[in-house]
């Protein structure tokens, strides 16, 4: 989660923000894609769409900037979730309400005795 001085995913290069920020981004994207598509499509189809369009590790990063990646992924899902979420998280701190997300997903904390 963002800390003081955080400048978003694109401008906070610490390993924790990159790793955990990316994980949160993917989780939020998958859940929102599923909400908007009636649980018919998820992040997996977005990633598959990128590969189908030729976006893979063999491509020059200049030919596949992040904006293109999300545009192609959004086209594959039929919703603009990835571009919208990237805009929220890329250049400023974004702290999703994870407690609400867990509740919405039916996850609860139980303390083992």
Mean pLDDT confidence for 44-57: 96
For residue 76, pLDDT over 90 is answered with yes
Q: What are phi and psi of 27, to 5 degrees?
A: -60, -50
Domains of the chain: total: 1
User: Does some domain include residue 90?
Assistant: yes
Quick one: CA dihedral 16, 19, 23, 25, positive or negative?
positive
User: Does some domain include residue 27?
Assistant: yes
The pLDDT, as a whole number, for residue 110 is: 83
Residue bearing the bigger pLDDT, 61 or 104: 104
Mean pLDDT confidence for 32-45: 98
- What percent of the chain is modeled with pLDDT above 70? 100
User: Does some domain include residue 51?
Assistant: yes
- Domain housing 42: 15-95
- Tokens read off for 38: 């009636």
């Amino acid at each position: 989660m963002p800390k003081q001085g955080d400048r978003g995913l694109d401008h906070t290069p610490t390993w924790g923000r990159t790793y955990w920020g990316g994980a949160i981004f993917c989780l939020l994207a998958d859940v929102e894609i599923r909400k908007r598509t009636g649980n018919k499509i998820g992040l997996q189809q977005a990633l598959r769409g990128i590969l189908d369009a030729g976006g893979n590790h063999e491509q020059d990063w200049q030919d596949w900037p992040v904006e293109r990646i999300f545009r192609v992924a959004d086209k594959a899902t039929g919703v603009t979730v990835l571009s919208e979420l990237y805009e929220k998280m890329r250049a400023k701190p974004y702290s999703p309400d994870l407690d609400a997300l867990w509740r919405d997903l039916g996850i609860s904390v139980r303390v083992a005795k």
